[in-house]
Amino acid sequence: MKKLLLLGTLAAVGITTVATYPALGGYAYHLTMAAERTLYGLDKSSVDGGDIRLVTLQGGVQNAPAVIMIHGYSADKDVWIRFARHFTDRYRVIIVDLAGHGETGFDSKLKYDTTSQSSRVLHAMNQLGIERAHIIGNSMGGFIAARLAHDHPQRILSATLIDAAGVTSPRPSVMGKLLAKGENPFLFSDREGFYRFYPMTMAKAPWMPSITLDWIADQYIARQSQLARIFNDFHNVNLLDNQLADIRVPTLVMWGAKDELVSVSAADVWCQGIVGCQQVIYDDLGHMPMLEAPTRSAHDVLAFIEKQNNTAPANK
């Protein structure tokens, strides 16, 4: 269905828009994401994050417990759309574009470490009138979620850390080995670099036409200096290895065993350090389970969250 939707959108744009390659792939991508947001009841709006306005997607039940979803480094809010649709019938859902990412944009005057990013999320919660929330983060977003759970436990109902950065992995990932040689796979100057990098992000990537992938590659190339700055600000900065025992909120650690960016060996570090931590490992998935298998991973997170709420598991 998603493939047909994207093909249909691509055809429509091709008829109505005069564009150069691969801009057409970008138009198709944006129209498809907009259609899916509408389909799943997610509306775009901005909220004050303290030192920058954060663009968000919001939906679900306004007076229900809040669930906040935080993307990883170089990603944006749209990676959560197909995952988030499983939450909107019983939760208030907020998906953020972090500073430096997506439609929120980059400001060279800002800091991009996880403490600064978590402060922006907390400020947005205050502006939205959210006293406490379940928080879900992937990769760098998982690091930010863990930082919130550690620094502001009174505001966090539960934390779900999906392939989270933020601790030292006992075994290096593919990316870790590249970084040790001075190569950052996120930073490249041509499309060939993107096509070396992209398979590292997921073991089961959703289908996209090559024109859209070329457009995404060009966005990475255009943002190379910004991405380098963000990476330097947060990567291996203020790791949580020695603070895990201080995290006292209910925590689920979820991982794709085929992750090439953050080694699955880090999952045990999180759960050995956090009291009562629960763990789910997907043998067939990579770095982004919520995008590779949105229904399966959403149901596992819902079961965890609803256990904290003392309610029956979702039947969806």
- Quote the CA–CA distance of 69 and 89 in Å, as a whole number: 16
- Quote the CA–CA distance of 3 and 146 in Å, as a whole number: 35
Residue 68 β-bridge partners: 94, 135
Q: Which of 60-64, 87-91, 143-147, 305-309 has the lowest mean pLDDT?
A: 305-309
pTM for the whole structure: 0.92
Mean pLDDT value across residues 220-234: 98
Q: Is 169 helix (H, G, I), strand (E, B) or coil?
A: coil
Does pLDDT of 293 surpass 50?
yes
Two tokens at 82? Answer: 């197909």
Angle (nearest 5°) at CA 270 between 97 and 99: 15
- Quote the CA–CA distance of 43 and 11 in Å, as a whole number: 25
Mean pLDDT value across residues 195-203: 98
Does pLDDT of 268 surpass 60?
yes
Kindly report the CATH class assigned to 45-308: alpha beta
The pLDDT-based confidence of 310 (bands split at 50, 70, 90) is low
- Quote the CA–CA distance of 66 and 290 in Å, as a whole number: 18
* Contact predicate 237/263, CB 8 Å: no
* Contact predicate 294/82, CB 8 Å: yes
Give the largest CA-CA distance in the chain.
Answer: 58
Residue type, position 290, single letter: M
SS3 content of the chain, % helix, strand, coil (to 5): 45, 15, 40
Question: Residue 170, exposed/middle/buried by CB under 10 A (0-12, 13-18, 19+)?
Answer: exposed
pLDDT recorded at residue 316: 35
Does pLDDT of 2 surpass 80?
no
Nearest to 147 by CA among 121, 111, 168: 121
pLDDT recorded at residue 309: 79
pLDDT tens, position by position, 146-190: 999 999 999 999 999 999 999 999 999 999 999 999 999 999 999
pLDDT tens, position by position, 15-45: 444 468 999 999 999 999 999 999 999 999 9
pLDDT tens, position by position, 36-85: 999 999 999 999 999 999 999 999 999 999 999 999 999 999 999 999 99
